[in-house]
Amino acid sequence: MYILVTNDDGIDSPGLLALKQALQGVGEVVVIAPDHNWSAAGHTKTMHKPLRVRTVTLPDGDPAFTSDGSPTDCVALGMLGLLPRKPDLVVSGVNLGPNLGDDITYSGTVAAAMEGVIFGITSIAVSLTAYEGFEHLNTAARFAAHLARRILSNGLPCCETLLNVNVPNLPPERIAGVAITRLGKRIYRDTLIERKDPYDRTYYWIGGEPPTGVAEEGTDIQAIAENKISVTPIHLDLTDHQLISQLQKWQLTVNG
């Protein structure tokens, strides 16, 4: 396997290093990651300015590429010619924080995996479900390597689906199992914070407490609540197929 590793937390993230090292037991690994944090960037693609890429050395001494572009850009760079050949697998993470339910619409981690799928490459997004104290990154990284091996042996339909993985911040012996899940419903508690700068001009932060979620049976949110790893297949076709026939009955016309 030739594996492209990226993330949205940036080239210096310990989650990226843990993931790269775990996947080196599966195949040849190349890293292309952003040069700064792009959390909550979504599927951002740079079209209005040049992208710059430089070679850096990771803390373990291995080389890597870093770009001033988004996570999506990093995958596109690799697919479009920065790498000598297209990878067999894209793995994005390990994200420092969960990507559950509606989070995937914001997540740069998941967006990087989506970009891989758009290029026809099997892709995985991996997140550790903690907001601080990321002691067990290796739990997530090793599971990602295990999942990569299963993909290698069993195959996974390309071109439409990625796997979104969330791992509790626990040692392996305290993980209660692996659940194949659907997306749950997130409850966001965002607040708008208004402040004044030294020139008395108003500016805003969007802040608030971490989101909660509805722990329905079969969802990724419920799996994490039960200390299980959640693996959710995400299909890029967002069409509500059941609604098509209902809308056709509206008999919409050009002029109303």
pLDDT at 243: 96
Answer for the pair 16, 100: CB distance below 8 angstroms, yes or no: no
**Strand 202-214 with 161-167, pairing:** unpaired
Answer for the pair 137, 15: CB distance below 8 angstroms, yes or no: yes
Retrieve residue 47's tokens: 């079209």
Q: pLDDT tens digits for the chain (256 residues)?
A: 999 999 999 999 999 999 999 999 999 999 999 999 999 999 999 999 999 999 999 999 999 999 999 999 999 999 999 999 999 999 999 999 999 999 999 999 999 999 999 999 999 999 999 999 999 999 999 999 999 999 989 988 766 899 999 999 999 999 999 999 999 999 999 999 999 999 999 999 998 999 999 999 999 999 999 999 999 999 999 999 999 999 999 999 998 7
Write the CA distances from 143 to 51, 166, 210, integer angstroms. 32, 10, 25
pLDDT at 83: 97
pLDDT at 256: 75
The one-letter code for the residue type at 81 is G
User: pTM score, two decimals?
Assistant: 0.95
- Quote the CA–CA distance of 184 and 195 in Å, as a whole number: 34
- Quote the CA–CA distance of 180 and 228 in Å, as a whole number: 10
Radius of gyration of the chain (CA): 19
Q: Which letter does DSSP use for residue 78 in this model? A: I
| Domains with residue ranges and CATH for the chain | 2-184+214-248 (3.40.1210.10)
Query: In this structure, is the dihedral angle defined by the CA atoms of residues 55, 83, 23 and 157, taken in order, positive or negative?
Result: positive
pLDDT at 158: 65
- Quote the CA–CA distance of 227 and 142 in Å, as a whole number: 16
